[in-house]
Structure 1
Amino acid sequence: MENICDMNNKVKVAVLDTGIDKEHDYLKDNLVGGIAFECMHDYIFISDKFDDEDGHGTACASIIKKEYEDVELFVIKILRKDGITNIKVLEEALRYLLDTNIRLINLSLSVIGVESVKGLFEVCYELFRKGKIIVCSLANDFDLSYPAMFNNVIGVRGLTLDVDDSFWYNKKYDVQCVMDSNSYISCDINNSYRLPPKCNSYLSAKLTGKIAKILSEKPGITISDLNDKLESLAIRNHWNSCDFDECSRIVNFKLDLYDKENDLLIKVADVVRDCLNIEDNNEKLFKCSLFNKEIGLVYDNCFNLLKKLEYRFDVKFNYMDISKYDLVSIYTLTELVERYKNL
């Protein structure tokens, strides 16, 4: 408990998730401790075994750090490898945080289909009364889940917005934040990286990181003032359900960026063909998204492609700055390589 109760100006974030890769090069210097809660035979057990076996918690932690480099991460493992937990485990983990000086809590999880969330609401309310800030993702493809819908929790959902890395915010809405859903490479277990799919979990982590940065600049900010600050940073403060049916930002494949005879484009295409086992005469490589099923790029093999490009062109990518839009076509991918070659 000592390393989470020292009073200082550092911003500590409690990440309640699947754990963390303790030895990940990107995260290990930010990790200040951890604990695990597990339910077995109707009893809740506490241990120090908070290693991540899934990757979800590691990804969320890295997204938080990307938004605020100096964040201190305290990890509470409550989700199993399959991403499931018992609501009582969640309640107990939150109750544990009542007597710590950790003010910011990330919950990239949701509770649906339970008979009662009264106990969960009560512990969230106790945390809120103590000035603690809970950020929670809305369940994917649902309009209602908990604790995101509680009035003492900041709820987050995703949408393709007009501006990359932007968000909407209204403190009076049930789900206060709508975050742009463009995916960026994030950390994975085994000291690796991965492009995560569109998921509210990762957007909750993103907002948590942004709030951590605000807290680093204004440690004593009240929750009311924080809400006002987030509204001022948002590109929009009012919306309705009809806005969720509109996708206003169109992905730019940059088809005219390079001539097909461009030397760098040809070399990048060779790497893509080798990585994805594409035939040399497959012209769809130059006409379709790389994520087209006939091309074969998917979330799980993006990092492997990036490693092959690093080796071929003797460059070193900053993985966390690479988004799906950088990988969407052979042209955007070539532009990415060119950008790093010119550094």
Structure 2
Amino acid sequence: MTQPPWRRERRAHFPGLPAWSAATSRLALDDFGVIRHEEVTQQWAWGGGLGAGVRVCVLDTGVDGAHPMVGALERSLMVAHDGDELTIADCAPVDPAGHGTACAGVIRSIAPAVSLTSVRVLTDGRSGSGAALLAGLRWAVDEGYDLINLSLSTTRSEFLPTLHDLADRAYFRRCLLVAAAHNMPVLSFPWTFSSVISVASHDEPNPMTYYYNPTPPAEFYARGVRVPVAWPGGRMIRSSGNSFAAPHITGICALILGKHPWMTPFQLKSVLYLASANVVARNGDAHVPL
């Protein structure tokens, strides 16, 4: 196979079969390698990987591309107003708030070889319009990024249907959304969607330690308390929040995809679960973080 199935043109409908079906008696399906569950270790999943070849989009407040903890960006864009329309336009790699730079720095610290793109959808790290979020997310999904980091959410239910459609669209295009849980016990989106990877915090210092959470809606716990993060102006501060737990998982996902580039979101989420620190291996031992 020269091109993964999720990047190909959709096959024409097979006459005589229900919609979305395949005439497997006439057309062979692609083969996919299978790894037995007991063979999924952290070493197998991402050991030795750097995230090379993986494209990550950070939807946030922008990213300071000159920060030494971030490094060069593939692109820097923002949601702009063109009359009554919202457009995606190139912009200087700056961050007026710091939040996006912090998230990008975490991703780069775990997966140093990833290609990072910034799309500014928030203005000051706390506020932004739902329309801007939808416009930025739609653009990132259509551009085919492997991973989109969303350390943000909205409580406004009027955006739920469109957000849900975009999350599903991303899932079926092999574009995985990693979303931070809300820092307050309120209902918000899109982290509560089953088609995304949802992340809350634990309070341990190892950036590669993460846990599976069997009690939804947050699926995983990653480092999110007193995290050393990049801040505009070349600074480093310590900050806490689920916003900084999500990019830890985004970085680990990038490592996995760098080694196993044909994984689907379903497979990647399964590998994350199997390699979690609290999921025991066949011999009954828990994983020791790399």
TM-score (norm 1): 0.61
Aligned length: 229
CA 1:82/1:15 → structure 2, altered by over 3 Å: closer, same or farther? closer
Matched, 1:72 2:115: yes
Distance 1:103 1:161, change over 3 A: same
- In the alignment, the residues of structure 2 paired with residue 120 and residue 54 of structure 1 have an alpha-carbon distance, to the nearest angstrom, of 24
User: CA contact under 8 A between 1:170 and 1:237: conserved in structure 2?
Assistant: no
Q: Is structure 2 residue 170 aligned with structure 1 residue 146?
A: no
Show structure 1 runs of 5+ residues with no match. 1-8, 239-343
With over 3 angstroms needed to count, the CA separation of the structure-2 counterparts of 1:23 and 1:118, relative to structure 1, is same
Is the aligned partner of 1:87 residue 2:126? no
* Cα distance per residue 1:131-152 (max 9 Å; x no partner): 1100000110225321000111
Give the Cα–Cα distance (whole angstroms) in 1 for the partners of residues 125 and 150 of structure 2: 16
> Which of residues 50, 73, 76 in structure 2 aligns to 1:34?
76
Q: Among 177, 181, 191, which residue is 2:220 paired with?
A: 177
User: Which ranges in structure 2 are unaligned for 5 or more consecutive residues?
Assistant: 1-51, 281-290
More deviation, 218-227/200-209: 218-227
Contact map agreement 2:191 2:197 (CA 8 A) in 1: yes
Counterpart selection for 1:202 from 235, 241, 244: 244
Q: Is the 8 A contact 2:62 2:94 kept in 1?
A: yes
TM-score (norm 2): 0.72
Matched, 1:131 2:174: yes
Please list, as runs of the form range in 1=range in 2, the aligned pairs for 1:283-322 lying within 5 A after superposition: none
Matches within 5 A, 1:160-309: 160=203, 165-169=208-212, 173-196=216-239, 198-236=240-278
Greater RCO, CA 8 A, separation 6+: 2
Question: What amino acid does structure 1 have at the position aligned with 2:121?
Answer: I
Q: Following the alignment from structure 2 to structure 1, what is the Cα–Cα distance between the partners of residues 140 and 207?
A: 34
Q: What SS is found at the alignment partner of 1:63?
A: helix
- The answer to whether the aligner puts 1:46 opposite 2:88 as a matched pair is yes
Alignment-derived partner of residue 61 in structure 2: 18
| Contact 1:15 1:75 (C-alpha < 8 Å) held by counterparts | yes
Select between 93-102 and 205-214 the one with higher mean Cα deviation. Answer: 93-102
Identical aligned residues as a percent: 26
Secondary structure of residue in 1 paired with 2:177? strand
Preserved contact between residue 138 and residue 144 of structure 1 (Cα < 8 Å): no
2:227 counterpart SS class: coil
Task: Assess if the C-alpha contact under 8 Å between 1:164 and 1:182 holds in 2.
Answer: no
Asked if structure 1 preserves the Cα contact closer than 8 Å seen for 2:223 and 2:244, the reply is: no
Deviation at 1:180, TM superposition (A): 3.6
CA shift for structure 1 position 190:
1.1
Contact kept? 1:20, 1:52, Cα under 8 Å:
yes
